[in-house]
């Protein structure tokens, strides 16, 4: 085990969490999600963690690239849920992520489905990937990326849309410290999801208040849907109210705020 993996295990132990599963730490990986998906297929147990100092092929939602230079947090967690509400795992991770960021002095908000924004810019993101066979969910790999430091050399579009903990607070947070906070909050909120999924939906909604009642545009499956963002439903779908007053629940997509046309 590397010193980083040992420090993460120790940090979790200090918070009362005996992490039984393996914590795999690598200097460089193509993608921690890809590595953990391979491990999941080989039968790795729930709560196995993979983290890397940098990724050469970090992936974001909707096929996007997640720039992953040294200094950021790149972490994936394996879950094997055996309960109905597993569809809320990405939102559960969003709530945990916002609480972990708060420990580092960042007041982040959530943007559906699960971006963490601070000052309107993205500070962290979540990529959940799942596999099922014979109608049964086998595993979920939850990938989390947090921008810890000012990142040089980002492409223009990304630089304008992104921020980092050091930009926001001036503090240099070590990846292992950020990983400890993320995993500790995730563990707590995963328990909440198991026993009371509605509490996760409520917690998520409260951390995305800026969006409710706002006109938004949503790109989903090659289609554009417009409406007023009303909230999320019990399954985590975003509910939009259209011009005709009808409600549409959307399960995936990218949301942007738009101005009301006069
Ligand atoms: C997004 O907001 O688009 C999701 C970004 C998720 C990035 C993380 S970094 C660790 C894990 N490995 C990956 O390749 N992606 C996720």
**Could you tell me the two tokens for 90?**
């990405």
What is the C-alpha separation between 75 and 241, in angstroms, rounded?
36
Ligand 1 in contact with 74 (CB < 6 A)? yes
User: What is the full DSSP assignment across 22-40?
Assistant: -EEEEEEES-HHHHHHHHH
Q: What is the pLDDT of residue 34?
A: 98
Please say if the pLDDT value at position 154 is more than 80: no
Ligand 1 in contact with 64 (CB < 6 A)? yes
Q: Counting atoms of ligand 1 from 1, which one is nearest the CA of 125?
A: 2
Give Cα 185 distance to the centre of its chain: 12
What is the C-alpha separation between 34 and 254, in angstroms, rounded?
23
Ligand 1 in contact with 35 (CB < 6 A)? no
What is the C-alpha separation between 249 and 180, in angstroms, rounded?
35
What pLDDT, in 10s, does the model give residues 23-40?
Answer: 999 999 999 999 999 999
Among 39, 77, 71, CA closest to 55: 71
Mean pLDDT of the chain: 94
**Could you tell me the two tokens for 146?**
């947090």
What is the C-alpha separation between 76 and 128, in angstroms, rounded?
9
What pLDDT, in 10s, does the model give residues 105-151?
Answer: 999 999 998 899 999 999 999 999 999 998 899 999 999 999 999 87
What is the C-alpha separation between 44 and 61, in angstroms, rounded?
24
**Could you tell me the two tokens for 140?**
């979920």
Contact 94, 67 (CB under 8 A): no
Ligand 1 in contact with 11 (CB < 6 A)? no
Q: What is the pLDDT of residue 260?
A: 52
Ligand 1 in contact with 214 (CB < 6 A)? no
Q: What is the pLDDT of residue 262?
A: 40
pTM score = 0.94
Q: Using omega within 30 degrees of 0 as the cis cutoff, is the peptide bond preceding 113 cis?
A: yes
Phi, psi of 251 (to 5 degrees): -90, -25
Distance 197 CA to ligand 1 centre (A): 24
Ligand 1 in contact with 33 (CB < 6 A)? yes
**Could you tell me the two tokens for 247?**
């409600």
Please say if the pLDDT value at position 259 is more than 80: no
Distance 76 CA to ligand 1 centre (A): 8
Q: Counting atoms of ligand 1 from 1, which one is nearest the CA of 68?
A: 9
What pLDDT, in 10s, does the model give residues 201-254?
Answer: 999 999 998 899 999 998 888 888 899 999 999 999 999 999 899 999 998 888
Ligand 1 in contact with 147 (CB < 6 A)? no
């Amino acid at each position: 085990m590397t010193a980083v993996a040992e420090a993460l295990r120790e940090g979790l132990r200090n918070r009362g969490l005996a992490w039984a599963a393996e914590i795999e730490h690598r200097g460089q990986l193509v993608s921690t999600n890809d590595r953990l998906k391979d491990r999941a297929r080989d039968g790795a147990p729930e709560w196995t963690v993979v983290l890397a100092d940098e990724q050469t092929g970090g992936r974001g939602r909707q096929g996007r690239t997640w720039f992953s230079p040294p200094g950021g947090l790149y972490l994936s967690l394996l879950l094997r849920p055996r309960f109905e509400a597993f569809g809320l795992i990405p939102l559960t991770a969003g709530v945990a992520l916002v609480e972990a960021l708060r420990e580092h002095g960042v007041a982040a908000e959530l943007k559906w489905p699960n971006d963490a924004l601070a000052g309107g810019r993205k500070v962290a993101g979540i990529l959940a990937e799942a596999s099922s066979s014979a109608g049964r969910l086998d595993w979920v790999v939850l990938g989390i990326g947090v921008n810890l430091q000012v990142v040089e050399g980002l492409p223009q579009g990304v630089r304008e849309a992104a921020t980092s903990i050091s930009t926001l607070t001036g503090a240099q947070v070590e990846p292992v410290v950020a990983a400890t906070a993320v995993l500790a909050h995730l563990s707590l909120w995963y328990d909440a999801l198991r026993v009371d999924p509605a509490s996760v939906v409520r917690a998520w909604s409260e951390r995305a208040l800026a969006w409710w009642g706002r006109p938004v545009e949503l790109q989903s499956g090659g289609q554009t849907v417009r409406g007023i963002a009303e909230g999320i439903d019990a399954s985590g779908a975003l509910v939009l109210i259209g011009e005709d007053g009808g409600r549409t629940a959307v399960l995936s997509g990218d949301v942007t705020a738009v101005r009301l046309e006069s």
